[in-house]
């Protein structure tokens, strides 16, 4: 693979667009692919899948909503058109079984492929600060690493194909459970008449400190840059939190390991997303907790 391979990013949503922008700004010739006509506003030069030419793409990154979307992209857009031996990097958050299936499908066609889901949000996607959880053979991960190192500041190779998605499922379950604790903790504090800013300062310097506390404080005005202080604009949408927690429950079921707290977080966020559309940041669940006095 050349020192500066030609890249294609398929999926120019909340995460894919800033990833494509960062790759382009880092000196890579980058093609953006998305069926949404508005994608051109998020990434200059975006094209629709039906007019995509992947024939000279050395590396193809996918960042799509669900496993079925990635499967469709592989079957209809990538595998028929990518040049022999291209490197495929799957960055979406999908179920482990689909990740393994995609790897088998790609390698059977002669492509190198890794699963590399990410954590860090749109800001990290735009500045190369993502954390990537990687699954694949050592040879394929080594080939993908130059591009992965542009996208992320922390790259962890967990093992065989699918293990990156397994790590992401476990990671996101912890995030969801922690989110529930933070949201309920602040709801209880406010119900008991505590000052939210004082309570936040206490937790930030004590054992309750967490990424969610620091970045997703659910009370408007306490943390100026938090979604709560900006009308709960995501951020990380509640429907995506619900999806990720359901993926963790699928992993729980397939492995036989019970995760009761994860199951409850999946239930609550799924019901909330279904009831509201889930477009606002996941911390918007706080408003529902305060309105109803519970879940």
- Report the CATH number at residue 11: 3.40.50.720
Number of domains in the chain: 2
Q: Half-sphere exposure of 209 toward its Cβ, with a 13 Å CA cutoff?
A: 6
Identify whether 243 is a catalytic site residue. Answer: no
pLDDT, one tens digit per residue, over 240-294 is 999 999 999 999 999 999 999 999 999 999 999 999 999 999 999 999 999 876 4
Last residue of a domain, one of 98, 130, 161: 161
Residue 171 burial (C-beta neighbours within 10 Å; 0-12, 13-18, 19+): middle
Residue 2 lies inside a defined structural domain of this protein: no
**Same domain (yes/no): 155, 173:** no
pTM, entire model: 0.90
Q: 131 lies in a domain?
A: yes
For residue 62, what is the enclosing H or E element?
strand 59-62
Are residues 76 and 218 both part of a single domain? no
Tell me if 1 is assigned to some domain.
no
Q: Are residue 46 and residue 135 in the same domain, yes or no?
A: yes
pLDDT, average across residues 129-158: 98
pLDDT in tens, 49-99: 886 789 999 999 999 999 999 999 999 999 999 999 999 999 999 999 999
For residue 103, give both structure tokens.
Answer: 């790897």
Whole-number percent of the chain with pLDDT over 90: 88
Which one of 6, 168, 243, 291 is the catalytic residue?
A: 168
Q: Are 28 and 117 members of one domain?
A: yes
Domain boundary among 110, 129, 161: 161
Last residue of a domain, one of 161, 178, 210: 161
Q: 3-state SS of 129-182?
A: CEEEEEECCHHHHHHHHHHHHHHEEEEEEEECCCHHHHHHHHHHHHHHHHHHHH
Q: Note whether 216 and 263 are same-domain residues.
A: yes
Q: Tell me the angle at which helices 238-255 and 163-191 cross, rounded to the nearest 10 degrees.
A: 120
- CATH number, domain at 172? 1.10.1040.10
Same domain, 27 and 157: yes
Asked whether residue 179 falls in the same domain as residue 141, the answer is no
Higher pLDDT, 291 or 226: 226
Does residue 57 sit within a domain?
Answer: yes
Domain span at residue 108 reads: 7-161
**So what's the pLDDT on residue 291?**
80
Note whether 146 and 172 are same-domain residues.
no
Name the token pair of 51.
């007019």
Does residue 117 share a domain with residue 103?
yes
On whether both 69 and 199 belong to a single domain, the answer is no
Residue 3 has pLDDT above 90, yes or no: no
Residue carrying the six token digits 């050592």: 138
Tens-place pLDDT, residues 154-186: 999 999 999 999 999 999 999 999 999 999 999
Closest-CA residue to 226 (of 270, 282, 278): 282
Shared domain for 206 and 126, answered yes or no, is: no
Query: Mean pLDDT throughout 27-40?
Result: 93
| In a shared domain, residues 241 and 190 | yes
Determine the pLDDT at residue 295. Answer: 46
What is the chain's mean pLDDT, rounded? 95
């Amino acid at each position: 693979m050349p020192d500066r391979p030609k890249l294609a990013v398929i999926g120019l949503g909340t995460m894919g667009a800033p990833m494509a922008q960062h790759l382009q700004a880092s000196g890579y010739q980058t093609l953006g692919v998305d069926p949404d006509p508005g994608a051109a506003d998020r990434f200059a030069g975006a094209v629709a899948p039906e007019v995509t030419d992947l024939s000279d793409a050395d590396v193809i990154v996918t960042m799509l909503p669900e496993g079925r979307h990635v499967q469709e992209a592989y079957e209809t857009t990538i595998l028929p058109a990518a040049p022999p031996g291209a490197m495929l990097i799957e960055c979406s958050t999908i179920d482990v079984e689909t990740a393994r299936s995609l790897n088998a499908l790609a390698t059977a066609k002669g492509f190198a492929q890794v699963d590399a889901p990410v954590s860090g949000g749109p800001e990290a996607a735009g500045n190369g600060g993502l954390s990537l959880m990687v699954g694949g053979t050592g040879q394929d991960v080594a080939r993908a690493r130059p591009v992965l190192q542009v996208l992320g500041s922390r790259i962890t190779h967990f093992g065989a194909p699918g293990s990156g998605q397994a790590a992401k499922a476990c990671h996101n379950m912890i995030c969801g459970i922690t989110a529930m604790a933070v949201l309920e903790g602040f709801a209880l504090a406010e119900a008991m008449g505590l000052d939210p800013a004082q309570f936040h300062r206490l937790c930030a310097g004590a054992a309750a400190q967490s990424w969610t506390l620091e970045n997703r404080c659910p009370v408007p005005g306490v943390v100026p840059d938090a979604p709560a202080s900006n009308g709960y604009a995501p951020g990380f949408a509640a429907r995506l939190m619900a999806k990720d927690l359901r993926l963790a429950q699928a992993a729980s079921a397939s492995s036989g390991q019970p995760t009761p707290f994860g199951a409850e977080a999946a239930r609550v966020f799924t019901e909330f997303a279904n009831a509201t559309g889930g477009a606002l940041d996941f911390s918007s669940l706080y408003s529902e907790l305060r309105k109803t006095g519970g879940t």
